[in-house]
C-alpha cells in the first residue's frame, strides 16, 4: 500500500452530512477522436441514476463547465428526482481526478459545503449556473418520477412515511403519489434559488439554516445553528493502491475505500481472468473465492472508525491495504465455505443503509469525478423541513450499528432508531451502551460504505470512474463491477448489469434474483449458507476511458441512463 504523494484529504463530523473527498493524480492522458462503436462517446460522459440528471450534467460540460461543475449539477438534480436517496440534507464524498494540477483529497462535511469547496477548487462556470436546470425542472410541470413512486408504494416504507412530516410532500390524502402525478415542490425550488444566489453559506449561517432548524425542532431535533456553522475542512492523506497495471484511488476511513481495496488486493493474487470463467467449475471457483474474501473483509469493517476521533487506530488503512493481511487471507481460503464466523472475525450487525446515489463524470481533458451522496436510509431520518423543502439524513445511526465481534451491544431498530438526534433515538441509547473500547465521541464521523473510486492506467491511457449506491451492498457491487470490467473483459454496461452476490454480516450469501442458479448450487455444495434479501438493490454508475474512446453506464436497476458526446 502506498499513500499518494500530493494526495490529501479532509473530513469532519457529519451532523447534517458526510464529507467531500477529492483525489487528483497528476497525469495527462491524450485524447484522439476516432470511431469507438455505437455505445461509446468520443469526448466526455456523465453517468447518473436518471436520464434527466445525466443530461443536465452533459449540458454543463458542453457549456465548457468542468467535470466538478457537471457533477454538482447532476447531484442537485438527483436530489429532486431521487430524494429517497440523497439531497441537501445529506452528505457527499467526491473523488476528483484533475488531469493537470496534481493530487489532493479534501473533505468538508455537509452536502452544500461539499459542493462549494469542490467548486471553489475545480469549478469553471458560475455557481448559480449549476442550479438553474434543476430549478427550471421544479418550476415547470414536474411529475412524480417512477423510481420514487415505487419507494412510496412499497409495503416496507409506506406506513412509516405516512406517520411523518413527509406525508405533506409525498401523499395526496391517504394515498402516496403515483408515477407521473403532478409533484409540486415549491419550497425546495425556492431554497435552490436562494443557494444559487447567496451561496452555500445561506444554509449554514443564514436564513435557510435558521428556518430549517425551527422546522425540525418541532419534530424533536436537537441540531443547533452552531452545529451547522462549525463545520470546517481538515486535511489528511488519501488512499492509493496498485492493482495490476492500474492505480486505485479511494477515500480513507470512515469511508470504505480501505475495505474495497482489501477485497481487490486479495483477489488479484489469484490471477482471475476471462479464461477462469469459461467453464462452470471455474465460475463457481471464482465466486467461491469472492465470497470467502468478502467474509474476511466483513471481519474488518468494524475498524472503520473515524481515525481523528480514535487515535489508537491511526494505522488501520495501512494494515488493510498492506500485502501482509492480503496474503494471510489468501492462505486461509480453502475449498470450503462452511467455516464458523470466528474463522473470519465477522463484525456482527452493520447498517443496511439504502439512501444513496452515485454520479461518475469524465471531462474532455481527461479530468474525472466520482461522487457518492447519501441521506443514509431511504428518506433519511424521515424528518422534513416544509419551509425549506429539505429532507434530513440519519447518518449518526451508523454509529449505533457497527461494533467488533463479541460486543454485547444490541441496537434497537424501529421508528426511533431512524435517529437524527431525536430524544430516545438509537444514537442516544448506543452512546451509553456501546462497547467502552471505542465509545462515540463528540465530532466523530460515522462509518460509511461509500467508495467513489477512480482507477488509472497511465501506460494504456485508461481510466475507470466508478461508485455505487445500496448501503452495505456498495462494496460487493463495485468490487464485482471492477472485476468484470478489468479482469473478465466485460464491456462496461455488462460489467454493471451482471447479477451480483453479497455476503451479509452473518456470513450468509445473498443473491440478486437473476443470479446464476448454476453458481448458486455450486456454492451451496461447498458449504456456503445463503439467505434471501427482500430489499436487494445495488446500483453502480461508471465511466471508462479506453484509449480514445469513452464509455458510460448507468445502472438499469434504478432506471439510470448515461449521457455524453
The full DSSP string for 103-123 is: ----B-SSHHHHHHHHHHHH-
CB 45 within 8 A of CB 564: yes
pTM: 0.88
- Is position 375 annotated in a ligand binding site? yes
Among 365, 390, 367, 387, smallest CA distance to 379 is for 390
541 beta partners: 467, 554
Strands 390-392 and 8-9: unpaired
Residue 82 predicted with pLDDT over 70: yes
Among 88, 109, 67, smallest CA distance to 380 is for 88
User: What pLDDT sits at residue 237?
Assistant: 62
Residue 318 predicted with pLDDT over 70: yes
Which is catalytic among the residues 356, 388, 410, 494? 356
Q: What is the mean pLDDT of the chain?
A: 83
Q: From CA 89, how far away is CA 169, in angstroms rounded?
A: 16
Instruction: Report the pLDDT averaged over residues 513-525.
Output: 97
- pLDDT, one tens digit per residue, over 319-371 is 899 999 999 999 999 999 999 888 887 544 455 556 799 999 999 999 999 99
- The alpha carbon of residue 525 and the mean position of all alpha carbons in its chain are separated, in whole angstroms, by 34
The three three-digit cell numbers of residue 215, written as one number: 422546522
CB 32 within 8 A of CB 252: no
In the numeric block, the cell 448458486 is attached to 520
140-162 burial, b if ≥16 CB within 10 A, otherwise e?
A: eebebbebbbebbeeeebeeebe
Q: From CA 374, how far away is CA 195, in angstroms rounded?
A: 19
- Is position 449 annotated in a ligand binding site? yes
Instruction: Report the pLDDT averaged over residues 394-421.
Output: 48
User: What pLDDT sits at residue 396?
Assistant: 67
Which element (helix H / strand E) includes 94? strand 91-97
In the numeric block, the cell 462509518 is attached to 447
Phi then psi for residue 501, to 5 deg, are -120, 165
- pLDDT, one tens digit per residue, over 160-200 is 999 999 999 999 999 999 999 999 999 999 999 999 999 99
More confident residue, 7 or 136: 136
**Which residues, at least 6 apart from 231, have a Cβ–Cβ distance to it below 8 Å?**
12, 13, 15, 108, 109, 110, 113, 204
CB 44 within 8 A of CB 117: no
3-state secondary structure of 316: helix
Residue 385 predicted with pLDDT over 70: yes
E strand spans, 138-225: 171-172, 175-176
What is the C-alpha radius of gyration for the chain, rounded to an integer number of angstroms?
22
Q: Could you tell me the domains of the chain?
A: 40-97+108-235+356-395 (no CATH), 239-354+398-402+426-442+445-564 (3.60.20.40)
Instruction: Report the pLDDT averaged over residues 221-236.
Output: 75
Name the most confidently modeled range: 270-274, 302-306, 417-421.
Answer: 270-274
Which element (helix H / strand E) includes 228? helix 225-229
User: What pLDDT sits at residue 422?
Assistant: 34
**Which residues, at least 6 apart from 181, have a Cβ–Cβ distance to it below 8 Å?**
143, 144, 149, 172
- Is position 374 annotated in a ligand binding site? yes
The three three-digit cell numbers of residue 297, written as one number: 473483509
User: What pLDDT sits at residue 346?
Assistant: 54
Known catalytic residue at 100: no
The three three-digit cell numbers of residue 266, written as one number: 486479495
CB 451 within 8 A of CB 256: yes
User: What pLDDT sits at residue 416?
Assistant: 36
Instruction: Report the pLDDT averaged over residues 36-61.
Output: 94
- Is position 398 annotated in a ligand binding site? yes
Amino acid at each position: 500500500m502506498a499513500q499518494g504523494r500530493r494526495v490529501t484529504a479532509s473530513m469532519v463530523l457529519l451532523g447534517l452530512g458526510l464529507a467531500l473527498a477529492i483525489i487528483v493524480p497528476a497525469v495527462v492522458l491524450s485524447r484522439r477522436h476516432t470511431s469507438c462503436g455505437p455505445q461509446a462517446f468520443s469526448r466526455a460522459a456523465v453517468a447518473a441514476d436518471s436520464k434527466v440528471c445525466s443530461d443536465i450534467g452533459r449540458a454543463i460540460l458542453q457549456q465548457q463547465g468542468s467535470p466538478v461543475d457537471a457533477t454538482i449539477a447532476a447531484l442537485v438534480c438527483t436530489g429532486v428526482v431521487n430524494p429517497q436517496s440523497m439531497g441537501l440534507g445529506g452528505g457527499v464524498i467526491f473523488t476528483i481526478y484533475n488531469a493537470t494540477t496534481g493530487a489532493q483529497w479534501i473533505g468538508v462535511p455537509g452536502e452544500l459545503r461539499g459542493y462549494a469547496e469542490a467548486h471553489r477548487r475545480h469549478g469553471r462556470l458560475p455557481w448559480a449556473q449549476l442550479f438553474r436546470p434543476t430549478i427550471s425542472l421544479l418550476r415547470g410541470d414536474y411529475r412524480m418520477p417512477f423510481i420514487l413512486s415505487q419507494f412510496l408504494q412499497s409495503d416496507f416504507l409506506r406506513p412509516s412515511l405516512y406517520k411523518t412530516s413527509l406525508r405533506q410532500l409525498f401523499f395526496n390524502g391517504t394515498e402516496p403519489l403515483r408515477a407521473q402525478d403532478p409533484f409540486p415542490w415549491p419550497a425546495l425550488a425556492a431554497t435552490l434559488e436562494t443557494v444559487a444566489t447567496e451561496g452555500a453559506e445561506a444554509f449554514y449561517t443564514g436564513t435557510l439554516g435558521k428556518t430549517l432548524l425551527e422546522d425540525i425542532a418541532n419534530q424533536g431535533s436537537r441540531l443547533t445553528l452552531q452545529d451547522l456553522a462549525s463545520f470546517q475542512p481538515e486535511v489528511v492523506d488519501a488512499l492509493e493502491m496498485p492493482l495490476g497495471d492500474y492505480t486505485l484511488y479511494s477515500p480513507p476511513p470512515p469511508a470504505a475505500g480501505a475495505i474495497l481495496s482489501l477485497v481487490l488486493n486479495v483477489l488479484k493474487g489469484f490471477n482471475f481472468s476471462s479464461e477462469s470463467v469459461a467453464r462452470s467449475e471455474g465460475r463457481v471457483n471464482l465466486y467461491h473465492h469472492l465470497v470467502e474474501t468478502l467474509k474476511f473483509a466483513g471481519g474488518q469493517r468494524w475498524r472503520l472508525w473515524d481515525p481523528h476521533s480514535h487515535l489508537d487506530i491511526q494505522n488501520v488503512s495501512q494494515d488493510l491495504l498492506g500485502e501482509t493481511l492480503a496474503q494471510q487471507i489468501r492462505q486461509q481460503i480453502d475449498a470450503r465455505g462452511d467455516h464458523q464466523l470466528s474463522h473470519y472475525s465477522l463484525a456482527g450487525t452493520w447498517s443496511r443503509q439504502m439512501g444513496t446515489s452515485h454520479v461518475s463524470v469524465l471531462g474532455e481533458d481527461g479530468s474525472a469525478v466520482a461522487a457518492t451522496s447519501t441521506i443514509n436510509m431511504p428518506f433519511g431520518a424521515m424528518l422534513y423541513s416544509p419551509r425549506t423543502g429539505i429532507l434530513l439524513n440519519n447518518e449518526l445511526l451508523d454509529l449505533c450499528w457497527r461494533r467488533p465481534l463479541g460486543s454485547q451491544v444490541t441496537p434497537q431498530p424501529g421508528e426511533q432508531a431512524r435517529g437524527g438526534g431525536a430524544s430516545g433515538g438509537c444514537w442516544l441509547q448506543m452512546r451509553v451502551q456501546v462497547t467502552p473500547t471505542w465509545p462515540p465521541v463528540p465530532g466523530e464521523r460515522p462509518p460509511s460504505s461509500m467508495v467513489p473510486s477512480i482507477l488509472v492506467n497511465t501506460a494504456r491511457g485508461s481510466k475507470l470512474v466508478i461508485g455505487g449506491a445500496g448501503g452495505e451492498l456498495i462494496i460487493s457491487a463495485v468490487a464485482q463491477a471492477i472485476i468484470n470490467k478489468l479482469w473478465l473483459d466485460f464491456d462496461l454496461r455488462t460489467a454493471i448489469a451482471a447479477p451480483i452476490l453479497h455476503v451479509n454480516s452473518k456470513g450468509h450469501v445473498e443473491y440478486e434474483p437473476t443470479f446464476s442458479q448454476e453458481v448458486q448450487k455450486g456454492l451451496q455444495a461447498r458449504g456456503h449458507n445463503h439467505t434471501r434479501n427482500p430489499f436487494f438493490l445495488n446500483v453502480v454508475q461508471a465511466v471508462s476511458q479506453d484509449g480514445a474512446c469513452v464509455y458510460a453506464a448507468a445502472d438499469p436497476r434504478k432506471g439510470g441512463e448515461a449521457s455524453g458526446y
